[in-house]
């Protein structure tokens, strides 16, 4: 049982390049989330998904797109990377989207945009 | 809007001693959940402890316990018998009714040998 995994762990991009971050979970969770973590700030929600085939915007969605084609995977895309998107990205999942449900986090991806 | 405040950017504790990390929050909800997450240098976010607002009893997990003061909107984390492996960033988080977590800015805990 690997829990939540993220690929890649590190990435350096040039401004304007695109990339996709992959999140996978093997806990059969319905809900999945993408957060970003910046220095001096807590985690902020980018997008989330309440189930296969669905996505929704979180707190800071601009510049990102997501897809959930399979229940176990949640992809985060940057179409045209900007230096402001330099951050650590975390994926998380939970059984449902209620307060009672603990969110389980992946190990994070450190992205640098030059 | 709900907010979570961690006013201590950094704390230090001697090994085997006890330390308390502070967290305050603001909400108009009566039913909600509070969490403490640990983020070691590996970056992995690990759930340490959680508290349901409707429970008056403070949650405890081995050496970790909370002091939940609902009226004061305070949710502090006490770490007893601190160990070197406790060194990490600690985040307080709030959730009410839905998926959304609101995180504080974190407290970096250093454990001195």
Average pLDDT for chain A: 92
Candidates B31, B45, B55, B95: best to mutate against A (most CBs of A within 10 A) is B45
Q: Are A102 and A94 in contact (CB under 8 A)?
A: yes
- pLDDT digit string, tens, across residues B80-108: 999 999 999 999 999 886 677 899 999 99
**Residue A105: which of B31, B45, B105 has the nearest Cβ?**
B45
Band of residue B44 on the pLDDT scale cut at 50, 70, 90: confident
- pLDDT digit string, tens, across residues B7-28: 999 999 999 999 999 999 999 8
Share of chain A above pLDDT 70, in %: 96
- A98 close contact with B: CB closer than 8 A: yes
SS3 B85: helix
Distances (CA, A) of A45 to A25, A68, B77, B82: 18, 16, 24, 32
The DSSP symbol for A97 reads S
- pLDDT digit string, tens, across residues A19-58: 999 999 999 999 999 999 998 888 999 999 999 999 999 9
**Residue B95: which of A40, A99, A107 has the nearest Cβ?**
A99
Which alpha helices (H) appear in A9-66, and where do they start and end? none
Flag whether pLDDT at B64 surpasses 70: yes
Q: Are A105 and B44 in contact (CB under 8 A)?
A: yes
**What's the pLDDT score for residue B97?**
67
- CA distance linking residue B80 with residue B52, whole number of Å: 22
**What's the pLDDT score for residue B55?**
85
Q: Are A53 and A39 in contact (CB under 8 A)?
A: no
Flag whether pLDDT at B113 surpasses 80: yes
Flag whether pLDDT at A96 surpasses 90: no
Band of residue B41 on the pLDDT scale cut at 50, 70, 90: confident
* A105: nearest Cα among B84, B42, B86: B42
Query: Which residue shows structure tokens 């050496």?
Result: B63
What are B62-71's contacts with CB under 8 Å, separation 24+? B64/B36, B66/B34, B66/B36, B67/B20, B68/B34
Instruction: Determine the residue of chain A that is closest to B5 in CA distance.
Output: A42
Q: Residue range B23-41: average pLDDT?
A: 92
**What's the pLDDT score for residue A40?**
80
Flag whether pLDDT at A113 surpasses 80: yes
Q: Which residue has the higher pLDDT, A78 or B54?
A: A78
- pLDDT digit string, tens, across residues A4-17: 999 999 999 999 99
- B90 close contact with A: CB closer than 8 A: no
**What's the pLDDT score for residue A98?**
65
Give the CA angle between residues B107, B19, B35 to the nearest 5°: 55
* A20: nearest Cα among A7, A2, A38: A7
Q: Are A109 and A35 in contact (CB under 8 A)?
A: no
* B64: nearest Cα among B44, B43, B41, B90: B90
């Amino acid at each position: 049982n690997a829990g939540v995994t993220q690929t890649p762990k590190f990435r350096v991009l040039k401004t304007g390049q695109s990339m996709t971050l992959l999140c996978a979970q093997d806990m059969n969770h319905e809900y999945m989330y993408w957060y970003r973590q910046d220095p001096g700030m807590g985690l902020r929600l980018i997008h989330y998904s309440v189930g296969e085939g669905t996505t929704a915007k979180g707190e800071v969605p601009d510049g990102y797109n997501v897809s959930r084609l399979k229940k176990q995977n949640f992809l985060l895309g940057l179409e045209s990377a900007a230096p402001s998107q330099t951050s650590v990205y975390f994926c998380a999942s939970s059984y449902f989207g209620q307060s009672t449900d603990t969110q389980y986090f992946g190990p994070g991806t450190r992205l640098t945009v030059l | 809007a709900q907010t979570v405040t961690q006013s201590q950017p950094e704390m230090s504790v001697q090994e085997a001693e006890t330390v308390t990390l502070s967290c305050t929050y603001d909400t108009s909800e009566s039913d909600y959940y509070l969490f403490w997450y640990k983020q070691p240098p590996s970056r992995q976010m690990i759930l340490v402890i959680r508290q349901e607002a409707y429970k008056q009893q403070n949650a405890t997990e081995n050496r970790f316990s909370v002091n939940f003061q609902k009226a004061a909107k305070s949710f502090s984390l006490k770490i007893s018998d601190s160990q070197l492996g406790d060194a990490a960033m600690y985040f307080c988080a709030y959730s009410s009714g839905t998926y959304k977590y609101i995180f504080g800015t974190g407290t970096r805990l250093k454990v001195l040998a």
